[in-house]
Amino acid sequence: MLRIALPNKGRLADEARELFTDAGLEIRAAGPRALTASLGGEFQALFVRAQDIPEFVADGAADAGVTGADLVRESGRALRELTDLTFGRCRLAVAATEESGLLALEDLRSGTRVATVFPRVTAEFFASVGRQVEIVPVSGAAEIAPHIGIADVIVDLVSTGSTLRVNGLREIATVLESSARLIAAPDAREDVARGRALDELVAALRSVLAARDKRYVMANVPRDRLDEVKRVIPGLNGPTIIDIMNGGKFVAVHAVVSAATIYRTIADLKALGAEGILVTRIERLMS
């Protein structure tokens, strides 16, 4: 039985739950506040704070975990990143008040006070760019710090940037880009059975993520326009072309296409005389 630490609340919790469910690892918990749940045969979920997941995994309390890359870096623990889960995208940024006149790292004088929930990553960052700063650790709401005089700038997570804007702050540098990651301890593969189960988990999660931005298109198209149709729907390895019984001038084509451009694809197929166009979601895509 492999234990997977999942965020119990916050931005990453719902998407992690949805991803595991889509991958066939349905979370069966005894109740909404249960701290553990079955994930089907081989896996068990532990629900903990996203901040604590790097520690849990590094210490062996969980075999793998889902948490933000920012939190993995801040933990300072040696961990193996098994895959980027691509949701929970954000960046850790340096921000200053609009009226400070600070526009770039070069404007920060020696001894600048930096309020942050990420003291380790922040210290590493300023050391790497050769700026001497004083870190002011806070446990939340760093945005207020420059306005009440306890810091000159902040280092905080930014997603859309609206929180910074409403608090009169402007981004002046990016410290790191983050998204949710599946992590394991560095020695997780030493045990063969555990390594295989983790490989299978990674493959299942990746196949769901890969399928999300694709669609399966089916259409009946005029046989004499197949060359043009192939240009519209190249598919993964070229479209599948199927003869229709008594189809005469028409053949059926099936292909995996990008979801982002599906409207264009449909319009192009129609322009080529396609009929009976069907578009479906894909549950998993293994390449």
Residues that bind ligand AMP (CB under 6 A): 11, 68, 88, 90, 156-163
Closest approach, Cβ 20 to ligand AMP, in A, equals 18
In the DSSP assignment, the letter for residue 140 is S
The residue among 50 and 205 lying less far from ligand AMP, judged by its C-beta, is 50
Asked if 25 and 16 touch (Cβ cutoff 8 Å), the reply is no
The residue among 63 and 143 lying less far from ligand AMP, judged by its C-beta, is 143
- Tokens representing residue 20 in the block: 């595991």
Closest approach, Cβ 179 to ligand AMP, in A, equals 7
Listed residue (170, 38, 150) closest to 94, CA to CA: 170
The residue among 12 and 255 lying less far from ligand AMP, judged by its C-beta, is 12
E strand or H helix at 178: strand 169-178
The residue among 45 and 157 lying less far from ligand AMP, judged by its C-beta, is 157
Closest approach, Cβ 183 to ligand AMP, in A, equals 15
The residue among 181 and 215 lying less far from ligand AMP, judged by its C-beta, is 181
Report strand pairing: 80-84 vs 180-184. antiparallel
Asked if 92 and 175 touch (Cβ cutoff 8 Å), the reply is yes
Closest approach, Cβ 51 to ligand AMP, in A, equals 10
Closest approach, Cβ 157 to ligand AMP, in A, equals 4
The residue among 11 and 225 lying less far from ligand AMP, judged by its C-beta, is 11
Closest approach, Cβ 93 to ligand AMP, in A, equals 9
> Which class for 222: exposed (0-12), middle (13-18), buried (19 or more C-beta within 10 A)?
middle
Contacts 24+ apart (CB under 8 A), 122-131: 122/155, 122/175, 125/155, 125/175, 125/176, 129/105, 131/105
The residue among 160 and 287 lying less far from ligand AMP, judged by its C-beta, is 160
DSSP per-residue codes, 39-101: -STTEEEEEE-GGGHHHHHHTTSSSEEEEEHHHHHHHT---EEEEE---S-EEEEEEEEGGG-
Closest approach, Cβ 112 to ligand AMP, in A, equals 21
Q: Distance between CA atoms of 218 and 252, rounded to whole angstroms? A: 7
